[in-house]
Amino acid sequence: MVVTYHRPTRAIIHRKALKENIKHEVDRLAAGVELFAVVKADGYGHGAVATAQVALAAGATGFCVATLDEAIELREAGITEPILVLSVVFPSYLSLVVDYDLSITVATKDWLMEAQEVLKDLEETTAPIKLHIKVDTGMGRIGFLTPAEVKEAAEMIEASPNMIWEGLFTHFSTADEKDTAYWHKQAERFKAVTDTLDHLPRYVHSSNSATALWHDTEMPGNMIRYGVGMYGLNPSGHELPETYPLKPALELVSELIQVKELAAGEGVGYGKTYDTSEKEWIGTVPIGYADGWLRKMQGFSLLVEGEFCEIIGRVCMDQLMIRLPREFKVGTKVTLIGKNNGQEITMQAVADHLATIHYEVCCMLSERVPRIYQE
Ligand SMILES: *Cc1c(COP(=O)(O)O)cnc(C)c1O
């Protein structure tokens, strides 16, 4: 999809907010603990490269992404710090891992054996690949399950001339919840693994944003994988109060492209799901479900000059209609996410309307919406 610059709809990314969120976190970390900024999924929709550059300036010392292509994007943009791919990379792509000097995740013994075969076939002069062993302590997603399996994997890696054991990590599934029992169960399992090993690799890490924010004094490891907190969003949604004020980095804005007064009894939008009950001022905004502003957003409100205006009728692919309290000029700013004349619509409010989490809201803003960076 082509990025649509010639339209007033845009996501404005505030570098200062990103910077402050990261700085705040870096300053809280115990001595020797590093922050890797998680910029997967195009930096949670905020733009991976731009976000990574801000993170670097604010004190991040490495990056995490989900896929090989996301890692390559950062390297191609000139980022030279360590980049860890968090999910599984097929061994058939290992030459790219070598070429781009990436760190990748090993989650099974079968993968290790296959990788060793692939590496043997590569040029003898290639650099060894850097591996982080993933331990599944209770997320049930990827990783080794027992300390014995982890130990075996570590020994296999250390015995291989083509591999370097660079990291050991796990992922918590309930760090954003009030009830910490399961978090502690996972932490104990991770400790059982580290206790079994006679030495540890360069990086040991377990913390996503929620663990870093709410388990800061007890989190295992010397590096954190800081994602959603950097973008200024409370990882727990409504569940836990922010440890420090997080500053939302993304604003979504547009403008009224048409304003008209309809007579009573007129239909608005596909399927005529809305009828004016009296004379009503209707504004049209150029954003729709192809921009990631889903049809389910019908009934939600947008801000125009500090007033909440309901989305009426069905959201179209490229446009939507709102009911205005009075006539506004064409070109008046409309805020879909962010502050407007003292009022605010948060990403969380959008998520609540969609019965989902804000992570999903920022990821679903499509490529068509330009990301504009401001200080
Ligand atoms: C996405 C992800 C993170 C970052 O999570 P946040 O909640 O955004 O901080 C950390 N670790 C892993 C393994 C992830 O997949």
Average pLDDT, the chain: 97
Mean pLDDT value of segment 72-91: 98
Confidence category of residue 125, pLDDT binned at 50, 70, 90: confident
Q: Is the CB of 171 under 6 A from ligand 1?
A: yes
Asked whether 313 lines ligand 1 (CB < 6 A), one says no
pLDDT at 44: 98
Q: Using one digit for the tens of pLDDT, what is the confidence trace for 336-375?
A: 999 999 999 999 999 999 999 999 999 999 999 999 999 9
Task: With cut-offs at 50, 70 and 90, classify the pLDDT of residue 80.
Answer: very high
The residue with greater pLDDT, 252 or 122, is: 252
For ligand 1, atom 3, the nearest C-alpha belongs to 208
pLDDT of residue 126: 82
| Residue 270 is among the residues annotated as catalytic for this protein | yes
Q: What is the pLDDT of residue 26?
A: 98
Residue-by-residue DSSP string for 11-66: EEEEHHHHHHHHHHHHHHSPTT-EEEEE-HHHHHTT-HHHHHHHHHHHT--EEEES
In 3D space, the residue among 131, 91, 136 whose CA is nearest the CA of residue 111 turns out to be 91
Ligand 1 centroid to Cα of residue 271, in Å, is 41
Q: Is the pLDDT of residue 216 over 90?
A: yes
* Residue range 217-247, pLDDT digits in tens: 999 999 999 999 999 999 999 999 999 999 9
The band of 175, judged by pLDDT with boundaries at 50, 70 and 90, is very high
Catalytic residue of the set 16, 185, 244, 270:
270
Does residue 164 have a pLDDT over 80? yes
- Tens of pLDDT along 9-25? 999 999 999 999 999 99
What does DSSP assign to residue 236? T
Say which residues have a Cβ less than 8 Å from residue 93's Cβ, sequence separation at least 6.
68
- Quote the ligand 1 centre to 207 CA distance (angstroms): 8
- Paired tokens of 84: 């860890």
pTM above 0.75, yes or no: yes
Q: How large is the average pLDDT for residues 41-70?
A: 98
Structure tokens at 118: 């692939």
Tell me the pLDDT band of 123, cut-offs 50, 70 and 90: confident
Average pLDDT over residues 145-149: 98
Cα–Cα separations (whole angstroms), residue 90 to 114, 133, 256: 9, 15, 48
Assess whether 329 carries a catalytic annotation. Answer: no
Sequence length of the chain is 375
